[in-house]
Amino acid sequence: MNERKDILERVKHLMKENSEIKVNCSKLARQLNCDRRTVSRYIYITRSGKEASQREYPKKTDGFEHIIEEKVKTTAPAIAIYNYLAKEHGYTGSYSTIKRYIHNLNIEKQKDAVIRFETNPGIQAQVDWKESLKFKTKDGETIKFNIFLLILGFSRTKFLMVTETRDLQQVELCLTNAFKYLGGVPHEILFDNMRSIIDKARTQYSEPVFNENFKVFAEDCGFIPNACVAYRPETKGKIEVTAKLMNRIKVYSGDITCFDDIRRIASELNREINSSVCQATGQKPFDLLKLELPYLIKTNLDILTGYFEDVISRKVSTESMISYEGKKYSVPPKYIGKKVDITDTGSGFDVSFNGHFIRHWEKSGKMMNFNHTDYLEIARNSSLKRLDEDEITAIAERNLEIYDKL
C-alpha cells in the first residue's frame, strides 16, 4: 500500500493540538485530494500507534479457546469439536473457522523445541522393538522375527537380540542377556508402551501401570521401569537408531538359509556398531562403556533363571527340518508348518510339540542331519511316492549316505 506522508503529517499535527479533536474525515479528504477512508486509517494509526491492518476485530472463537484446546488434547477431529461447540456451548461460527484455529494451534505446538537431556553414566537405558519383520531364505521360505534393542543413555552401547516372540518371558530373557553383555544393570529403563509388560499405557495425564510379574522381575534386577508417553516418540529419542540398524540388516534378506543366520548377522552388526564412532558422542560406545561400567548396578543374574526356561521355538520347514545353531535337523513330516520347542541340554537338545517329546538330537557339525525314519517318511510323501517301497528305500539310503559325508 502506498503511503501518503503528507496526510499522516497533517493528521498528526491536528491530533497534537488536541488528541480528542473530532476530525471531519470527508472535509480533510477533499482538501488533501484523497479518499475519506484513507484519512480515517491515518487517524487510527496516530491514535493507536498501530497500522490499520493490525486492528483487533472480535473473533468467532473468542471465549471458546480453552474449550477447543482441551478437546484437541483428546485427539478428537476438528469436525467433532465443531459439532460439540455448536451443540453444547452455542457456537455460531463456521466449521472452517474451528478447523483453521486447530491447525494454527498444532503449528504452534510443533514450534516448541523438544529438549532431550543427556543422561549421566549408569542412570538410564532405553528399549525398543522392531516387530513382525520378514526375511526370505535362499529357498524362498519366509522367516518372521523381531529385533530387541537396548541402548545405554550415556555410552550409547547397544545390545541387539533377534527373537521369535515378544511375550513377557522373552522380554525378561532379552533384558537378562543385555545385562550380561553390558556387565551391569542401569538404574532406570525406559520402555515403549509394550503390552507384554504394561497393563495401562502412560499418557500426558497418567502414569503407566506395569505388569505385576514384570515389576517383581525389575525389582530383582535392581532397575526402575518407566514408559515413554504414548504417541510422543521424542521422549525416547536415543532409540531412533533402531530404524538405521534395520536398514543395515534388510539387505541380507534372500541371502540367509535359516533363522540362526539372522541371529549371526545381528550379533556381528552389534559388535560393529559398538566398536565404531557414534555421531552423537564422537566416541566409540565400547570406550565410553568403560567409564559407565562402574555406575551400573551389579546384580547376581543367576537368581533370574527362574523367570524363564531355556526353551526356543522353531517352525518346521517344508523339508521337515528345524534350524538350530546354524545346522538343520529333521523331525517327523506331520509337524511341517508347526512350531516345536527346543530345550538345550548342553551337548544336545530335546525337541517337543505342545509339551509332548518328539526326540533328542546330539549337536552335530554337519549342515544337514536326518533321522532315518523321518527321511523315509519324507521320501514317501515326495515326488518318489509313485515308486514302490523298495525303490523309495534304496534311493533314501543312497541320499542319506551322501548327506553323512557332507
How many Å apart are CA 39 and CA 29, to the nearest integer?
6
Q: What is the mean pLDDT of the chain?
A: 79
Assign 230 a pLDDT band (cuts: 50, 70, 90).
Answer: low
> What confidence score (pLDDT) does residue 111 get?
46
Using a pLDDT cut of 70, give the percent of the chain over it.
Answer: 80
In this predicted structure, which of 4-8, 125-129, 213-217, 315-319 has the lowest mean pLDDT? 4-8
pLDDT tens-digit profile of 122-133?
999 999 888 888
> What confidence score (pLDDT) does residue 24 get?
72
pLDDT tens-digit profile of 66-116?
888 888 876 778 888 898 888 888 888 899 998 888 888 875 555 444 434
How many Å apart are CA 148 and CA 132, to the nearest integer?
12
- pLDDT for 202 beyond 60: yes
> What confidence score (pLDDT) does residue 385 get?
65
- Give the best-scoring range by mean pLDDT among 45-54, 167-176, 192-201: 167-176
39 by DSSP, 3-state: which?
Answer: helix
Q: What ranges do the domains of the chain cover? A: 5-54, 65-111, 124-305, 311-405
| Model confidence, pTM | 0.53
- pLDDT for 117 beyond 60: no
> What confidence score (pLDDT) does residue 63 get?
80
CB atoms within 10 A of CB 84: 16
pLDDT tens-digit profile of 342-389?
877 677 888 888 767 888 888 888 888 888 888 888 777 766 666 777
- String of DSSP letters for 174-186: HHHHHHHHHTSB-
- pLDDT for 234 beyond 50: no
pLDDT tens-digit profile of 140-176?
888 888 889 999 999 999 999 888 888 888 888 889 8
> What confidence score (pLDDT) does residue 213 get?
87
> What confidence score (pLDDT) does residue 307 get?
67
> What confidence score (pLDDT) does residue 218 get?
92
Assign 53 a pLDDT band (cuts: 50, 70, 90).
Answer: very low
Residue range 40-62: mean pLDDT, rounded: 65
Domain 124-305: give its CATH code. 3.30.420.10
CB 74 within 8 A of CB 42: no
Residue range 275-301: mean pLDDT, rounded: 90
Q: Which amino acid is at 158?
A: K
Q: Which residue is it, cell 493540538?
A: 17
> What confidence score (pLDDT) does residue 113 get?
43
Residue range 256-265: mean pLDDT, rounded: 81
Residue that wins the pLDDT comparison between 175 and 23: 175
- Tell me the sheet residues that pair with 159: 150
Assign 242 a pLDDT band (cuts: 50, 70, 90).
Answer: low
> What confidence score (pLDDT) does residue 116 get?
43
DSSP3 helix / strand / coil % (the chain, rounded to 5): 45, 20, 35
Q: Which of 134, 157, 158, 155 is nearest to 146 (CA)?
A: 134
Assign 402 a pLDDT band (cuts: 50, 70, 90).
Answer: low
